[in-house]
Structure 1
Amino acid sequence: MNMDDMYLLLSHIKGIGYKTIQKIDDYFTDIQNFDIVSDEEIYKIPNISLKIKKNIVNYRSSTYLHEIKENLKKHEMNYVTINNSNYPKRLKHIYDPPHILYFKGNKNLLNEFCIAMIGSRKPTNYGVFCANKISKELSALGINIISGMAVGIDYYSHLGCLNGGSKTIAVLGSSIDMPYPKQNIHLMNNIIESEGIILSEYPPGTEARPGYFPMRNRIISGISDGVLIVEASEKSGSLITMNYALDHGKNVFAIPGNINSFMSKGSNKIIKEGAKLVSSVDDILEEYDIVYNNVKKESEYQIDLSKDESKIVTILKNNGSLHVDFICEHTKLNIKDILGILNILEIKGIVTELGNKIYSIK
């Protein structure tokens, strides 16, 4: 068996993860000869449980390897190992890279420039807007987006990228044949059909578990060229990805949020601690010396407005976020008309409610 086969085989043996594979790799000088090593030698491997050693002895065969490959064909799934030239180069150099990645889609994306976008699974309207806007504008510039295909910010980051015309990479906390959450299966199919890629370090038949998501986050950070936190609470799981990014030497960006919003406490905190504040895609591009020409950002498109709509837009531009009562004071219009106009402006994509009847220009 070659080394790729050995990593594939080991990853399918119950109880073995990337840490155990690393222990085996460290113990033997040449893992590609692992299939001809004696059972006695396997039982000598240190720091591995007896149960796992028995599983290795029982399943270490070319017959089982053939069954594994047939099952991958059945699921139309491919794989790449750390020994392969197609393995993501940036990921290979982190502290704890997975020895094998299973995937569906365009493997060439794994070594292209990309920005990770992550955030809350229960975002505010503001967070949804920011994820969509920034992702779509980066995508329109040819920048691929990587995220975790969870509900919330992940979902809208992938969606914005697809709408912008570039490719998106999704890293799962389960196997590809058992995607989590199930409601995002349609998104997963769209990613593949749009020449994106779905990734997982877990073999077919692996259900999502809470502990798998932090491990998934190291892959998101490892493959990316930088990590953007769109919206996160003070104890958000997104901050785990940020810590990985710092360990990996990646740029960390964050979008500021409403100081009264619980969902922005994490984002605002990491900006104070040194993450780069992002108010537009320009803040990201300048870190990589990327210059774009003749590409309009969404805010640059002209939209026809009525006299009262223009008045409210001007007031919000001049004053920032305002409660509806203050908008009434500035415009001298009654609150019923104001709410109707604000609703129209939200539909037109110009204004967003930040919560508690506080409005801002998108």
Structure 2
Amino acid sequence: MDKKDIYLYVKSIKGISSITLGKIIEEVGSIEEILKLNEKDIYNLKNISLNIKENLVKYIRCLNLDEIKEELDNNSIRYICIEDEEYPKNLKNIYNPPLLLFYKGDLSIINNNLNIAMVGSRKPTSYGIYCAEHISYELSEKNINIISGIAFGIDSCCHRGCMRGKGKTIAVLASPLDNVRPSNNRIVANEILEDGGLILSEYNLGVPVTRGNFPQRNRIISGLSDGVVVVEAAEKSGALITADLALDQGKNVFAIPGNINSKMSRGCHKIIKEGAKLIENIEDILNEYEKFDFINKTSIKDDIKDLSNESLKVIHTIKEKGILQINEICDNTGMEIKIVNSIINELLLKDLVIEMNNKMYSVN
């Protein structure tokens, strides 16, 4: 039996959460050793409730793994355990990581790109909707993935904004993958998959959806990410729980300021006062991730083959140094401003660079 199948088997026993399973593995040594436990061994387990011990005794030998796997396969759902090489690297290092993940879509996008989580109110203002769609789209154009919780409001706006760009979007559910909540957002879930994105959950088919699932889901949203952007949130909001979790996990937290008279701005202003980075544009985010390469390699490779050596030098300079003004490009390349201006105009026409605020340029 594959290791991930053992995780699936044991996690299918009623009451076995990731925390509980982690405790048992720590005591017995490995996931494989659990299947070797007899009734006496199970009742001797430490720090495990009697109810869970009884469930282990009752079901440890009688679950039908083939039936469990067939049901997942019939729903086009795949699964991965924490010991698999493909398991998301960022998620392994958080407190209480999900030991088993169920997913649809392309899992590889998580480990191949920068991942920014964007969260916010389910009842956003028109300003919040604009910020969510605009920021997520611009980050996506930099080939950055956007992670959110596929809820109404800001979450859905962030997913859709990302799908307009070059990046991929990742939706983390608080429910099994065959039971998207809210149900109206099944359309968004399908759009994400059609766009080459990913939806995932730690909950197997048939697991009931409770209020406690949502804060548990938030630890995965922040855990997968390299940073969290709070777009718009009330003073008491699930989005702020995600931000707090991100801080606990050592992630960057960003917040978009809003109208001081709006209730939906109070959460963002609160965490800005507490140290979250105020952002006005994507440059405020990108500056924190200089080690990442934001260039879209696939599109550039096709488009630069006919460029002159001078144009290539300008592109590589911007790529290496980050967002630059014309005079900074001249300083770094040793080229005259007249030549650089001409090259920049050519690159803008080819969509190989983009012009930002204050006549600054970045690789597209």
Equivalent residue, structure 2, for 1:88: 88
Report the alpha carbon displacement of residue 110 of structure 1 after superposing the two structures with TM. 2.2
CA distance in 1, matches of 2:88, 2:256: 27
CA distance in 1, matches of 2:241, 2:144: 24
User: What is the identity, as a one-letter code, of the residue corresponding to 1:139?
Assistant: S
Query: In structure 2, the residue corresponding to 1:71 is in which secondary structure?
Result: helix
Report the alpha carbon displacement of residue 19 of structure 1 after superposing the two structures with TM. 1.1
Query: In structure 2, the residue corresponding to 1:80 is in which secondary structure?
Result: strand
User: What is the identity, as a one-letter code, of the residue corresponding to 1:262?
Assistant: K
1:17 aligns with 2:17: yes
Equivalent residue, structure 1, for 2:238: 237
CA distance in 2, matches of 1:35, 1:104: 28
Equivalent residue, structure 2, for 1:49: 49
Comparing 62-71 and 8-17, the one that deviates more: 62-71
**1:177–1:204 CA contact under 8 A, matched in 2:** yes
Which structure 1 residue ranges, 5 or more long, are not aligned? 301-362
Query: In structure 1, the residue corresponding to 2:280 is in which secondary structure?
Result: coil
Report the alpha carbon displacement of residue 299 of structure 1 after superposing the two structures with TM. 12
CA distance in 2, matches of 1:40, 1:240: 41
Equivalent residue, structure 2, for 1:294: 353
User: What is the identity, as a one-letter code, of the residue corresponding to 1:285?
Assistant: L
CA distance in 2, matches of 1:59, 1:178: 25
Equivalent residue, structure 2, for 1:285: 286
User: What is the identity, as a one-letter code, of the residue corresponding to 1:4?
Assistant: K
**2:223–2:249 CA contact under 8 A, matched in 1:** yes
Report the alpha carbon displacement of residue 2 of structure 1 after superposing the two structures with TM. 4.0
Equivalent residue, structure 2, for 1:354: none
Report the alpha carbon displacement of residue 63 of structure 1 after superposing the two structures with TM. 5.2
1:198-238, CA deviations, whole angstroms, 9 ceiling, x for partnerless residues? Answer: 01001111232211110111101111000000001111111
Report the alpha carbon displacement of residue 50 of structure 1 after superposing the two structures with TM. 2.2
1:61/1:193 Cα in 2 relative to 1: closer, same or farther (>3 Å)?
farther
1:130-163, CA deviations, whole angstroms, 9 ceiling, x for partnerless residues? Answer: 0000000110111110000000100000000001
Query: In structure 1, the residue corresponding to 2:46 is in which secondary structure?
Result: coil
1:322-344, CA deviations, whole angstroms, 9 ceiling, x for partnerless residues? Answer: xxxxxxxxxxxxxxxxxxxxxxx
1:2-151 to 2 correspondence within 5 Å? Answer: 2-61=2-61, 64-111=64-111, 112-151=113-152
CA distance in 1, matches of 2:28, 2:6: 12
User: What is the identity, as a one-letter code, of the residue corresponding to 2:134?
Assistant: K
CA distance in 2, matches of 1:134, 1:148: 17
Equivalent residue, structure 2, for 1:306: none
1:80/1:298 Cα in 2 relative to 1: closer, same or farther (>3 Å)?
farther
1:16/1:63 Cα in 2 relative to 1: closer, same or farther (>3 Å)?
closer
CA distance in 2, matches of 1:180, 1:59: 30
Percent identity of paired positions between Structure 1 and Structure 2: 51
CA distance in 2, matches of 1:31, 1:18: 12
Equivalent residue, structure 1, for 2:216: 215
1:232-271 to 2 correspondence within 5 Å? Answer: 232-271=233-272
**2:25–2:34 CA contact under 8 A, matched in 1:** no
Equivalent residue, structure 2, for 1:341: none
**1:178–1:207 CA contact under 8 A, matched in 2:** no
User: What is the identity, as a one-letter code, of the residue corresponding to 1:265?
Assistant: R
Structure 1 length-normalised TM: 0.80
**1:2–1:32 CA contact under 8 A, matched in 2:** no
What is the number of equivalent residue pairs in this alignment? 300
CA distance in 2, matches of 1:236, 1:34: 39
Equivalent residue, structure 2, for 1:200: 201
Equivalent residue, structure 2, for 1:228: 229
CA distance in 2, matches of 1:131, 1:222: 20
1:18/1:299 Cα in 2 relative to 1: closer, same or farther (>3 Å)?
farther
1:255-297, CA deviations, whole angstroms, 9 ceiling, x for partnerless residues? Answer: 0000010110010111121111110111001111263661357
- What RMSD over aligned residues (CA atoms) do the two structures have, in Å? 1.8
Query: In structure 2, the residue corresponding to 1:116 is in which secondary structure?
Result: strand
CA distance in 1, matches of 2:356, 2:162: 14
CA distance in 2, matches of 1:79, 1:2: 12
Structure 2 length-normalised TM: 0.79
Report the alpha carbon displacement of residue 59 of structure 1 after superposing the two structures with TM. 2.0
